[in-house]
Amino acid sequence: MIDASLRELAGALAAKRLSSVELTQLFLERIERLNPSLNAFITTDPEKSLALARAADARLARGEGGPLTGIPLAHKDLFCTAGWLTTCGSRMLSNFVSPYDATVVKRLGEAGMVTLGKTNMDEFAMGSSNETSFYGPVKNPWRPEAVPGGSSGGSAAAVAARLAPAATGTDTGGSIRQPAALCGLTGLKPTYGIVSRHGMVAFASSLDQAGPMAKSAEDCAWLLNAMAGFDARDSTSLERPAEDYTREIAARGGDKPLDGLKIGLPREYFGEGLAADVARAVEAAIAEFRRLGARTVEVPLPNMGLSVPAYYVIAPAEASSNLSRFDGVRYGHRAAEYADLIDMYRKSRAEGFGAEVKRRILIGTYALSHGYHVAYYLQAQRIRRLIAADFAEAFTSCDLIMGPTSPRVACDIGDMAGDLIQMYLSDIYTIGVNLAGLPGLSLPCGFGERGLPVGLQIIGNHFDEARMLNAAHRYQLATDWHRRSPQP
């Protein structure tokens, strides 16, 4: 059952071919056996997980279960989860047990899903390789020497290694899509505002978005149905009618299921910096979409090259503000020895935060400081509007945009430790989507150097998740990249 889709697991549970307790125990045993070498989970609690599974079995026995009832999943460790450690991969929160559930956790729990544990991540979601975690780097299941991507690398590694059927992640500049690409998964970053941010520890509030990570587009659609919806506790949540994100997936396909679909190919996504092995896999995938009936057109995104510098002003500025609450007073790490209140603040933050978090706080504080706010932060916001306008113009001539998710396959752990610019550039194809508030999806489309996965990115217009998921689903019906998994 470890390779089964969510639909298959739901069918087995409904038919009583297995129980949620049995299914949960299967994954808990895999976590116990494989997690010491992968470091994908920070926290597990079998007793809590099995109690949730027993409750799910009782719901199913009463005939009250839904499509996700009894299915296990993992949560990225920045979703507040009642009674569980919520560390954000940081020493600062290494002792913080959340008193409440994030809305995402609550909604998936109400759907009857069983929490397996909390997954490792780059500290406070700041990183692209899952090397900045206080709990150590996560290993890529396809090659233990390689990174899984970040910041949702623990969630990606857990699903790829079949330690969980699905997981939650968050995406600020590509942190769902990039690790999904490097680990051979499907990962969806929804339109900004359709999934609540309440209880999701903030990195950059205008960019952060929660989303699902799973083996297939269909699995992600099922998860998004449960996750999405208005939440009055989140001021950025959008109040709009509920929709079924599986509706187009369920429609009849035919020989040319994507007839009439226009795919935009930005020239900026296929130029200098894109590795040859990634380019070959992505181009083969686009050829398959043409075979399925889609038509391709070239679209310009002239300001895409400015997305990385704009992001690395806006995101650190918002992080500087958001992380000011971690002061050692109310919760989190507090220095053992200090002379006065100011010294306690200074020492607690110096000890509690890692190097990358400190670097981004300093950059953000500088960008917001008197005399530089206009020159840096406001200018970055102007560039953000230009990037959003480029996407809006592109969607006047196409339905979806496609290209690589990452410019290269996963590098080995430590390879980019001394070259932060290259690390930051690994998100060059994903950051613009967050700046524009658009939905983006990565799905596996082949393998590159050293047998490592390659991801294809699909970008949609606002609220176009159903069309994106359908296109990805039709591709996955015609190919088997998403069904391949690393050897245990």
Residues 6+ apart with CB under 8 A from 484: 184, 444
Residue carrying structure tokens 């489309």 = 445
Q: How, if at all, do strands 400-404 and 262-266 pair?
A: parallel
CA–CA gap between residue 454 and residue 181 (Å, rounded): 6
- Does residue 151 have a cis bond before it (omega within 30 degrees)? yes
Annotated catalytic residue, options 20, 76, 133, 348:
76
Question: Diameter of the chain by CA atoms?
Answer: 74
In this structure, are residues 444 and 311 in contact, taking their beta carbons and an 8 Å threshold? no
Nearest CA-CA partner of 196 in 122, 108, 121, 113 = 108
Structure tokens at 230: 């208005």
Annotated catalytic residue, options 90, 133, 175, 426:
175
Query: Three-state DSSP class for 265?
Result: strand
Nearest CA-CA partner of 56 in 24, 15, 101, 89 = 24
Active site residue 98: no
Side chain identity, residue 294: A
Annotated catalytic residue, options 133, 151, 307, 426:
151
The sheet with strand 72-76 has its strands ordered as 41-44, 114-119, 72-76, 166-171, 209-214, 186-189, 440-447, 453-460, 400-404, 262-266, 295-299
Active site residue 175: yes
Number of neighbouring beta carbons within 10 Å of residue 23: 24
The catalytic site residues sit at 76, 151, 175
